[in-house]
Structure 1
């Protein structure tokens, strides 16, 4: 099974401040030792939510503890003041924002990585070999990459551009068409399927679910009501999102109030009529 029809262009992610990796053994410097590493996450942030869900799927609560941060950063430039000591210990005279997510090394008191895709893969590959299902099953990497790219560009970036106050009507319409094309492809793909690419949850489902959460809880606020109704008109896709919200590894991390507060703190765009057209009642379906 492949997801070739869903492939998209490479995603544009901000360059991470730190991009270390957890290796196989002591020669790698950062190697897998239970209790050595710690996650610092805000689940109101899409990357933080992705990592938190993956962390729960792998059952790593004691192997790699997680510290959960406030929804709205309290430091300069969108950073968290609690993370400032880690950043300053990890880079001499660091002046950038102390942003989450962070994977830190408790042995050294320094940051290993701030790159969410690497963190998710290292958690699965270095700590997730306990016999349970892997979010990154053997042979599925290219499919997961395709879904990741599609979610980034076909959903998140397209939705953001479709609701941008800086874009003209024609540009917004093109972006909305791209978003609807992506949702339509996903709708057709998911007919008769429980999950995206396998018979169990994988990282592809984590990527898509978080993108759909953002689409309904953030991006729709800047779209008109007609656009949101067209987005909602994908019953198979939204039923899939609702099912995953009921999964304990997903729904327990869904901080709807935090997402709203983070959005209002960061966003300076104009609210549109679509803000009143809620697609899913996430709170009613989320596992607790």
Structure 2
């Protein structure tokens, strides 16, 4: 996500360009990988890297969920940016003295500059920074979580689930590709559409895909197999933002997720699973989308709704069987300092 680009990973058109050309998500410019064998010069190493995220961003939220489920918190530190940016993009104004306490920088752009002076693209999250050098390693939002699952295994917690099992990868990849094109990216193609025809095409494709996903989930608890996989992580981060922002802000309003019994129960099931809901900050999500996307919402007014208490209601998906973590176990407690503030969480009804 980036203010100059206005989208979740820093690759959309600028606010000034809204309405002039169709939305197109660019490829990640910094696509180095952190691997077990260090093939790109970046070996997996506990304590060496820092993951920079915005709680508002669905692509960054993926990395937070994966990090929690796999138990990488002690090996990979976390930096959380302010959900509201200025003209230099993501900033660390939530930290004392407006600086990240580990990297010592005020803006994520400083890590980009340390890697490539004069880089012309957007400053995006998620991003992984090499702490010793202060240089950006990667902003490849599609690959980071796959590498967490397959390359960081030596640092996984005991009982970590297999989020990308070899036997299911072909099916997972197929499901994820459709979800990415029509759902994850589809909400942006709808919201940043440059004309009525483009909007309607994207919006209809989005809801067609949601209908397909609904059918798939009507008799199975998870998207692929009997436990949570990368496919569920990727779908969840769009579903959890759908009613609060995409339905109204991006005009994806044929129906709400809360009006679809299958998807609403599925989303609640994941939200209530340790590692999912404890990474979601509804306050950051709403303030970012409604206040940063001035081309879509010129007034910057943040709506009061929707009511969030439903996220805590029973979902009943247990009847479908399945084991959330497969042969593994739930992640432990959220590390101190990483808890979602009360303003970003639903409050139980008494």
Same fold (TM over 0.5): yes
8 Å CA contact 1:165, 1:270 repeated in 2: no
- Residues 32-181 of structure 1: pairs in structure 2 closer than 5 A: 32-76=44-88, 78-80=89-91, 81-129=106-154, 130=156, 132-163=160-191, 166-168=194-196, 170-181=197-208
1:246 is matched with: 272
- Deviation of 1:282 (Å): 5.9
Deviates more, 1:236-245 or 1:94-103: 94-103
- Deviation of 1:166 (Å): 3.7
2:212 is matched with: 185
Return the alpha-carbon distance in structure 2 between the equivalents of residues 115 and 150 of structure 1: 19
Return the alpha-carbon distance in structure 1 between the equivalents of residues 252 and 304 of structure 2: 8
Return the alpha-carbon distance in structure 2 between the equivalents of residues 244 and 259 of structure 1: 18
Going from structure 1 to structure 2, the CA distance change for 1:68 and 1:270 (only over 3 Å counts) comes to closer
Deviations 1:127-162 (A, max 9, x none): 234452121111332323223322222224444444
Unaligned runs of 5+ in 2: 1-23, 92-105, 314-344
Return the alpha-carbon distance in structure 2 between the equivalents of residues 43 and 149 of structure 1: 23
Return the alpha-carbon distance in structure 1 between the equivalents of residues 200 and 29 of structure 2: 35
8 Å CA contact 2:54, 2:125 repeated in 1: yes
1:259 is matched with: 285
Going from structure 1 to structure 2, the CA distance change for 1:115 and 1:243 (only over 3 Å counts) comes to same
Going from structure 1 to structure 2, the CA distance change for 1:32 and 1:241 (only over 3 Å counts) comes to same
1:228 is paired with a residue whose SS is coil
- Deviation of 1:199 (Å): 1.4
Q: Alignment length, in residue pairs?
A: 271
Return the alpha-carbon distance in structure 2 between the equivalents of residues 224 and 23 of structure 1: 40
Return the alpha-carbon distance in structure 2 between the equivalents of residues 72 and 99 of structure 1: 13
TM-score (norm 1): 0.82
1:212 is matched with: 239
- Deviation of 1:206 (Å): 0.4
Return the alpha-carbon distance in structure 1 between the equivalents of residues 265 and 287 of structure 2: 26
Going from structure 1 to structure 2, the CA distance change for 1:218 and 1:175 (only over 3 Å counts) comes to same
Return the alpha-carbon distance in structure 2 between the equivalents of residues 114 and 37 of structure 1: 13
8 Å CA contact 1:165, 1:269 repeated in 2: no
2:219 is paired with a residue whose SS is coil
* Structure with higher helix content: 1
Aligned-residue CA RMSD in angstroms? 2.9
Return the alpha-carbon distance in structure 1 between the equivalents of residues 252 and 28 of structure 2: 36
Deviates more, 1:150-159 or 1:220-229: 220-229
Deviates more, 1:144-153 or 1:65-74: 144-153
- Deviation of 1:179 (Å): 2.2
Unaligned runs of 5+ in 1: 1-11
